[in-house]
Amino acid sequence: MAPPSLTKFLLLVLLGAASSSSADYACKPSCGAIPIHYPFGTGPGCGSPLFHPHVACAGGGHQDQLTFTTRSGSYPVDAVDYANQILYVSDPSMSTCSATNPSRGFSLDWDAPFAFADARNVFALLDCFPTPTLNATLCDTSSSSSICGLLYTCPAVAALGAPVSTCCVYAPASLGPAFDVDLTQLRCASYAAVRGFNGAETRPDEWDFGIALKYRFSADDGFPSACADCEKSGGMCGYATAATATATATAAVYNSFACSCGNGMNSSTNCYFAASAASWSSGGARRRILPLGLWLTCIWLAIAWTQLQF
């Protein structure tokens, strides 16, 4: 039997290596029970590069958990409201109607594309000392008495043994110029964050405790048209990582847009081309991203093959 041609041999090498490595770069459509859409992603190269350092999918398998990370810690994401661009997070160290915990507070990184959804967030400082520091510059005196009074009807909060006067609703909508609640500086033991009252304004045991964060896609907050086209074709929006940009044979630009398709192929436009039996294109926008080392290996094999024939 005649040996296979050089062209067929090299094609088998390329396809085999590409298919074995493509799964490593596939973006997932969900993290745990939370569906993932732009601007978020499940790993490097997925979603928007502006969001990946702050929101990531941690864990493995069925234990995946979407997390939000700032300089004050990492927090589980409870849900994402994509229509209104709101991220709902929880702080396990904060106090609620059912439990009180010592806490360092909560902060936002100043360069992160997030802001507090002011109309939804109420931050109540608990067990603060001395009480004279809780003045009108820090506290919303119009709501502190009602919110704090209701919180102190919760057995867990009442167990602190501190008077209601040591509680106040923190007034700065942006949490001050540092974008944080520094409980050490404020001399408070803990805090409670309420992101919704669920129509039960007088029943704190039914309040929705947690933090609501508003996010923006970009400076003009416009949804990228390239991403919309990618998602319509069944792809996941992503970007070229530093490793991809330096280790591939294409002219991939670091952080440039990429559409990740379910079959492991990447495109700079969409995934419609993948329906044609994963056909290869020699250039342009639609191409398979292969490591430069793989191409060099094929060149070496071609030279070796030629020498064997003679």
Which DSSP string do the residues of 180-240 spell out, in sequence order?
EEEHHHHTEEEEEEEEE-TT-TT-GGGSEESEEEEE-SSTT-PPPHHHHHHHHTT-EEEE-
pLDDT of 141 strictly over 90: no
Sign of the dihedral defined by the CA atoms of residues 136, 142, 148, 153, in that order: positive
Residue type, 300: W
Minimum mean pLDDT range among 81-85, 91-95, 106-110: 106-110
pLDDT of 121 strictly over 80: yes
> What would the pLDDT profile of 164-173 be if each residue is shown by its tens digit?
888 888 765 5
pLDDT of 208 strictly over 60: yes
Q: What is the pTM of this model?
A: 0.75
pLDDT of 283 strictly over 50: no
